[in-house]
Structure 1
Amino acid sequence: MFRSSAAALALVACAALVAGCQQAGNDAADPQDAPAAASATATASAAATPSPSASPTGPSAANTAAVCRRADELIIEASRRIADDSAAATRRELTPEQLNGQLKGTLAGLADDLRKQAGNAEDPRIRDLVTDAAKQIDTGAAAASPATWMATGFVRIPERLTRDCHV
């Protein structure tokens, strides 16, 4: 039974990894999506054009992009680590308690890393978004069964960051 739960955990981690790799700009590579992407880009560009009253000391687009990219990278790295740990746990026949301990440690470290990244954000909206992701991951690290939480809570975090973490 443990081998199947470790395999399921590895699948959840892989799903999160794949979700985290879906960048908003990658979808426009499909020629069928090009007109819609061009229209969305034009609309976003027009909306992003600063008005004369815009504050020159406001958050920079480069900072937001860097913080969002790094948050995504941190989630991908943690997902890989979780998948690797799950595979190793199967080979070493770790107990569920040992696997939970590893998973809790990985999740707690990821939450800490995301909090540090949130502190780098100039845009308060991005800071709050990444901080909220860290809080959600703290919930998973504190869960009695972090593997169960991964299937319900963790998989939504990369989707939300991909959708909302941008300029």
Structure 2
Amino acid sequence: MSASTALRAAALVTLTALAGACQADGSPDAAAPAGGPTAAPTTVEPAPATATPSPPTAANTVEVCAEVDKLIIAKSKEIAADAAAATRRQLTPEQINAQVKADLADLADDVRTQAARAADPEIKTLVGRTAQQLDAGARSATPVKWLNSTFVTIPPRLTRDCRA
């Protein structure tokens, strides 16, 4: 498999994972499942008055988590666009690896900035560890392979754990 084909495959896997994972909270911006029609909206019944109130959360958890989602989606789109450009420009595997490493390093820095903003210590740790994972991808000898194996696990974990 050529390097540009591998990068296209990585971008496709990444975007597919993001479509199913990021913003799976039912918000209007939630992505539709890849390859399928969007589901009919469901009505959410208000919680009964006797329900136990949810525990208090840090004031900016929602904003930090939403911003991390946006950063990952934007950078994934950039990686996909770069994959298409790499094919047209016939980049070497070394050039492609350098491009992916730079994208991951930039994303790690942006995510680290969000970790520093987080008021909730658990969210700060979760987002900080995500930045560390992205750093590892940027240092990887095979960043395209890292995208397919590790990067695709990040959005589902954040969707599950980075919520108020």
Counterpart of 1:46 in structure 2: which amino acid?
T
Identity %: 47
Relative to structure 1, the CA distance from residue 49 to residue 2 in structure 2 (aligned partners, 3 Å threshold; closer, same or farther) is closer
Answer whether contact 2:97 2:144 (CA < 8 A) is retained: yes
Q: Normalising to structure 1: TM-score of the pair?
A: 0.80
Q: 2:133 aligns with which of 112, 133, 136?
A: 136
Q: State the Cα RMSD in Å.
A: 2.4
The residue number in structure 1 matching 2:72 is: 75
Counterpart of 2:52 in structure 1: which amino acid?
A
The residue number in structure 1 matching 2:6 is: 5
C-alpha separation in 2, matches of 1:100 and 1:163: 30
Answer whether contact 2:4 2:83 (CA < 8 A) is retained: no
C-alpha separation in 1, matches of 2:55 and 2:132: 33
C-alpha separation in 2, matches of 1:89 and 1:105: 14
Answer whether contact 1:10 1:87 (CA < 8 A) is retained: no
C-alpha separation in 1, matches of 2:84 and 2:14: 11
C-alpha separation in 1, matches of 2:102 and 2:94: 12
Task: Indicate the SS of the match to 2:119.
Answer: coil
Gaps of 5+ in 2: 31-38
Deviations 1:105-129 (A, max 9, x none): 0000100100000111100011001
- Larger Rg: 1 or 2? 1
What does 1:55-94 correspond to in 2, within 5 Å?
59-60=58-59, 63-94=60-91
C-alpha separation in 2, matches of 1:64 and 1:82: 27
The residue number in structure 1 matching 2:123 is: 126
Counterpart of 1:116 in structure 2: which amino acid?
T
What does 1:28-107 correspond to in 2, within 5 Å?
30=40, 34=43, 38=45, 46-48=52-54, 59-60=58-59, 63-107=60-104
Structure holding more helix per residue: 1
Q: Normalising to structure 2: TM-score of the pair?
A: 0.82
Q: May I ask how many residue pairs the two structures share in their alignment?
A: 152
Question: Is it true that 1:18 corresponds to 2:24 in the alignment?
Answer: no
Gaps of 5+ in 1: 51-57
The residue number in structure 2 matching 1:54 is: none
Answer whether contact 2:112 2:127 (CA < 8 A) is retained: yes
